[in-house]
Structure 1
Amino acid sequence: MELTTRERIYELLRASPKALTGREIARRVKTRERDVYEHILHIALSSRRRGEVVVIFPAKCEECGFAFEPEKVRKPGRCPVCHSTKIDGPRFLVRESEWSP
C-alpha cells in the first residue's frame, strides 16, 4: 500500500536528524511547497494524539536577523523590519513530546 503525501511528509520529518524547510520537504516528497505547509498543520494536530510534537523553528530574515513568530508555518514574503525578501523559511521536525497526557 502506497503512503499518502501527508504520511510521507510525516515519516520524513520523524526520520530526519535535522529540521527541514518547506522547500526541502517538497523536493523530497515531490509535491508543491505551498501544499507542504497545509500538510504540516494537519500533522501537528494528529501528532499530538501520538504523544509527538511538530517542532517549528521560525523563519528568519537573512538581512537583519529578525525572527518571525514560531506559529507562522508558511514562509513570509518580506521582513517587516527591513523589508528584505531574503527570508530563510521556517524549519520543521517531528519529535517525541516531553509531556504527554
Structure 2
Amino acid sequence: MENARTTREKIAEALREGAETASSLSERYSISSESALRHLRHVARSVDGTDEDFLVRPPTCRDCGFDGFDDPLNHPSRCPECKSEAIDEPAFTIE
C-alpha cells in the first residue's frame, strides 16, 4: 500500500532514515523544491510535541563557512559575509 501514504508521510519516513535536502526530496518524489519546503515545514510542526526531533543542518557557505542564515529552511542565493554563491543547501532529518 505504498501509494496510500501521503507525500508528507513519505517525506517524514525518508527523514527518519537519514538527512535529506529539499532538492533530493524534490527529485525523489517528483515535486518542486518549493513544494518540498512547504512539506518540510508541515512535517516539522507535526513532529513538535512528540518524542522525535526535527533537526536542520543550516545552509553553509563553502567558501567562508558562514552558517548563521536567518531562515534555516530557506536556500539562500549568496553568503552575506563573503558574497559567495557557493552555498550548501540545508539538510533535514528526524531523530
TM range (shorter): 0.7 to 0.9
Q: Is the 2:78–2:87 Cα contact (8 Å) retained in structure 1?
A: yes
What is the CA distance between 1:3 and its match in structure 2?
Answer: 1.5
State which of 7, 10, 19 in structure 1 corresponds to 2:9. 7
Q: Distance in 1 between matches of 2:78 and 2:47?
A: 30
TM-score where L is the length of structure 1: 0.82
Which residue does 1:81 correspond to in 2? 81
TM-score where L is the length of structure 2: 0.86
Runs of 5+ in structure 1 lacking a partner? 96-101
Which residue does 2:67 correspond to in 1? 67
The percent of aligned pairs where both chains have the same amino acid is 34
What is the CA distance between 1:71 and its match in structure 2?
Answer: 5.0
> What secondary structure is seen at the aligned counterpart in 2 of 1:8?
helix
Which residue does 2:94 correspond to in 1? 94
What is the CA distance between 1:33 and its match in structure 2?
Answer: 1.1
Which stretch has the larger CA shift, 49-58 or 66-75? 66-75
**Runs in 1 of length 4+ with deviation above 3 angstroms?**
none
Which residue does 1:99 correspond to in 2? none
Which stretch has the larger CA shift, 69-78 or 51-60? 69-78
What is the CA distance between 1:14 and its match in structure 2?
Answer: 1.0
What is the CA distance between 1:81 and its match in structure 2?
Answer: 0.8
Which residue does 1:58 correspond to in 2? 58
Q: Is the 1:56–1:70 Cα contact (8 Å) retained in structure 2?
A: no
Runs of 5+ in structure 2 lacking a partner? none
What is the CA distance between 1:69 and its match in structure 2?
Answer: 3.9
Q: How many residues align?
A: 93
> What secondary structure is seen at the aligned counterpart in 1 of 2:55?
strand
> What secondary structure is seen at the aligned counterpart in 1 of 2:48?
helix
Please tell me the root mean square deviation across aligned C-alpha atoms, in Å: 1.6
